[in-house]
């Protein structure tokens, strides 16, 4: 019987997981959530793990925290306290993720519940079980199958299928997450419309599947949200940098009437965010802001802002091989790709997220200049190879390299760097620094190709990106990266270069 949880509990829980899977149907799994004792059928529990990184994805209900990678499967995570009481759960050393089965439309799905603490696994005296009272329950009555007394405590026996009703969680089917004896979890990103509502109308009919939303929690670094810009042009932003998508009409905005790219400020979930007008950032001046329906909340590590756009379209997978360099005259995009939209092939521009960030936040520019001023020369004779698709970043890298007094070559994508590496004397290369999101060959493919050749084993590889989370960072390190650091942090980059060139 498990009364409390300690630091060693999760390490030893594999045996307990096996016990749960083999338990009889009379056993219940007890846990705490918001200080209340709950129980579910033990047979519905697949696995229990300690809290780990959860990747946020756009367009989810507030109680759906996002998705996480559990033993190679991407699982949706529900904050049970938020589902019950509209209160966000606090995370501490006792917080656990409980992977359960839920049935919808005669199919079984796996979803993880965020709970405060694992309590125990035990049977219940059937004489202690009572019906649900007609009023006075702490949570929605349909969530409760029955009540019981256990160890002098009042227990809510939960209806897990009702709580995790797939139609309520995502208003979609989850066919990509079917659990049966012959299937494994697969996540195929399909081209699906996003449904957004305002107070007066629903202006789109299709929806996007929660489990088909991309993330960086596994190998997906080339997933993009497509949105409309001026003159019927379409643009794309990497989903790893998108935290949420919300409706402009739902926001109270403190307007900025200056003629610049900042539309104003809004309080979004208790956080004051700067709102950037995408069209104005592109250079369009005369704009009727009533045409902007949606706000893309962008999170790039240390900085978060809202990007006001006309409408969003699809989330699609764009392989780096399908991306081409955009015009040298276009400083606000990095590359373009051909995608299918409403049955037609169109060109889509992938915007330079780093350029947006630098244009919005003066503090980023100011810090960069201070960091440049503090860089001192180092004594290093070997050549350093850099790869980044952003012209802004390449210029910053060149400036930093000159301040360090090092020899360097800078490339627009991983393929160009790899080609140069193959032509170089291996002893002449001292370090490789690469971005992740690049055309032709992205950073992950570059690292993989380099690490397949043993003669390059002694060359350290730094990943310089604003896409990283804990899961992706671990994957990159396992792939052969030496270090992963945040982009636009010149101090961190220069210090990391000095670390690997000693």
Residue-wise pLDDT for 482-501, tens only, equals 999 888 778 889 999 999 98
Taken in order of first residue, the domains within the chain and their CATH numbers are: 10-177 (2.40.50.180), 210-359 (2.40.50.180), 361-499 (3.40.50.2300)
Position 167 pLDDT exceeds 80: no
- How high is the pLDDT of residue 200? 39
Compute the distance between CA of residue 50 and CA of residue 145 in angstroms, rounded to an integer.
27
Compute the distance between CA of residue 206 and CA of residue 211 in angstroms, rounded to an integer.
15
SS (H, E, C) 110-168: EEEEEECEEEEEEECCHHHCECCCCCCCCCCHHHEEEEEEECCEEEEEECHHHHCCHHH
Alpha carbon dihedral 473, 477, 482, 485, in 10-degree steps, equals 0
Q: 0.75 exceeded by the pTM?
A: no
Determine the angle formed by the axes of helices 391-404 and 353-360, rounding to 10 degrees.
70
Compute the distance between CA of residue 458 and CA of residue 428 in angstroms, rounded to an integer.
12
- Per-residue pLDDT of 131-158, as tens digits, reads 877 665 678 888 888 888 888 888 899 9
- Per-residue pLDDT of 206-221, as tens digits, reads 333 333 333 333 335 6
- The three-state secondary structure class of 230 is helix
């Amino acid at each position: 019987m498990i009364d409390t949880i300690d630091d060693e509990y999760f390490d030893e829980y594999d045996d307990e997981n096996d016990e749960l899977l083999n338990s009889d149907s009379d056993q219940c799994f007890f846990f705490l959530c918001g200080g209340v004792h709950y129980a579910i059928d033990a047979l519905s529990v697949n696995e229990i793990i300690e809290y780990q990184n959860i990747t946020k994805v756009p367009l989810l209900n507030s109680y759906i925290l996002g998705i996480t990678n559990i033993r190679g499967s991407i699982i949706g995570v529900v904050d049970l306290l938020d589902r019950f009481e509209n209160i966000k759960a606090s995370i501490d050393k006792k917080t656990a993720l409980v992977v359960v089965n839920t049935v919808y439309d005669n199919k079984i799905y796996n979803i993880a519940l965020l709970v405060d603490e694992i309590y125990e696994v035990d049977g219940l005296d059937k004489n202690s079980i009572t019906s649900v009272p007609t009023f006075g329950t702490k949570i929605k009555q349909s969530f409760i199958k029955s009540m019981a007394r256990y160890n002098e405590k009042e227990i809510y026996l939960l209806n897990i299928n009702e709580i995790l009703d797939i139609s309520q969680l995502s208003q979609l089917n989850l066919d990509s997450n079917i659990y049966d004896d012959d299937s494994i979890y697969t996540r195929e990103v399909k081209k699906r419309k996003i449904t957004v509502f305002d107070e007066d109308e629903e202006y789109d009919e299709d929806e996007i599947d929660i489990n088909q939303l991309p993330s960086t929690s596994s190998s997906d670094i080339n997933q993009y949200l497509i949105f409309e810009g001026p003159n019927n042009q379409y643009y794309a932003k990497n989903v790893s940098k998108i935290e949420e998508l919300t409706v402009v009409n739902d926001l109270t905005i403190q307007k900025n009437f200056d003629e610049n790219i900042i539309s104003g400020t809004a309080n979004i979930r208790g956080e004051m965010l700067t709102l950037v007008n995408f069209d104005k950032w592109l250079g369009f001046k005369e704009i009727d802001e009533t045409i902007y329906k949606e706000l893309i909340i962008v999170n790039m590590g240390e900085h978060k802002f809202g990007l006001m756009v006309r409408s969003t379209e699809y989330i699609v997978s764009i392989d780096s091989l399908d991306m081409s360099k955009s015009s040298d005259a276009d400083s606000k995009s990095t590359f373009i790709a051909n995608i299918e939209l409403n049955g037609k092939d169109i060109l889509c521009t992938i915007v330079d997220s780093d350029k947006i960030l630098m244009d919005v936040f003066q503090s980023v520019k100011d810090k960069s200049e201070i960091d440049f001023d503090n860089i001192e020369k180092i004594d290093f004779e070997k050549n350093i190879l850099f790869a980044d698709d952003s012209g802004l970043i390449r210029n910053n890298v060149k400036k930093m390299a000159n301040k360090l007094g090092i020899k360097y070559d800078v490339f627009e994508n991983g393929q160009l760097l790899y080609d140069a590496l193959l032509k170089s004397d291996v002893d002449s290369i001292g370090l490789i620094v690469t971005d992740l999101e690049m055309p032709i060959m992205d950073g992950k493919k570059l690292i993989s190709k380099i690490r397949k050749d043993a003669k390059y084993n002694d060359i350290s590889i730094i990943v310089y990106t604003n896409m990283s989370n804990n899961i992706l960072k671990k994957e990159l390190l396992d792939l052969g990266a030496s270090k992963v650091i945040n982009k636009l942090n010149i101090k961190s980059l220069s210090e990391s270069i000095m670390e690997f060139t000693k």
